[in-house]
Amino acid sequence: MNTISNSGRDGVSNVFAAALWTLDGSFEVAATGAVGVNLHQGAGQNLYTAIVRWYDNDRLAPVFIRPPFYAFVLFKQAVRGNSTMLPNRVAWGEVDGIKVWPLWGEPEKELRVVVINKRPLDAVDVILRVSKNSGYGGATVTRLVSSLERPLESRGPEISYGGITYGIGGVRGGSNVTEHVKRGTSEGKLAWRIYMPMGSAALVVIPRLG
């Protein structure tokens, strides 16, 4: 997937919106039962390429990272090669632009839920419920965000996943940042209220107790 003629489009293929599309699209493929997804990178210089290598005076310049690379990192951490996708039901009224992808990690005994808010201007509270009244603890939230006022237009430096950025040469910057959300109840079920900024995604990890 991700192949497009004429190297993609500036302001579409190389911005943060493409990262959220990459993340959601990869889960859409996984939901069909596919065992993998191949994202086209072209010659490494196309606008949709996540890892870019340029030639400067016939010498290969250091790599730099475009927004879709962050989707690769989040997807890998969520799936880990050993997860089972779970059915889900989006239960609130207006759902345009909101996606929820729950997984079960058997070795770790934990729920891993990817939440995506593709809305460009609206933050939302997403309530995750499970059909249990006990057995799970608080949630750890790792966010994929941009600090721009219009996050979907970000091109790279403002983007971070869990507080980590990737600069020239793929060098990691920043420091790890996660949030803890206490469990609660909603409609007689265990529930976690996850705040989702506009144009963002998050990996929510909920361990099973005992």
Going along the chain from its start, the domains and CATH numbers come out as: 5-207 (2.60.40.1180)
* pLDDT tens digit sequence for 1-56: 877 667 888 999 999 999 999 999 999 999 999 988 888 887 667 888 898 887 77
Q: Cα-Cα-Cα-Cα dihedral of 155, 156, 158, 161, to 10°?
A: 130
Among 60-69, 90-99, 107-116, where is mean pLDDT lowest?
A: 90-99
Phi and psi at 174, nearest 5°, equal 80, -165
Predicted confidence at residue 58, as pLDDT, reads: 81
pTM: 0.93
Predicted confidence at residue 90, as pLDDT, reads: 61
What does the DSSP assignment read for 59-98? EEPPPEE-THHHHHHHHHHHHTTTEEE------SS--TTE
The predicted model gives 170-191 an average pLDDT of 93
The predicted model gives 77-92 an average pLDDT of 81
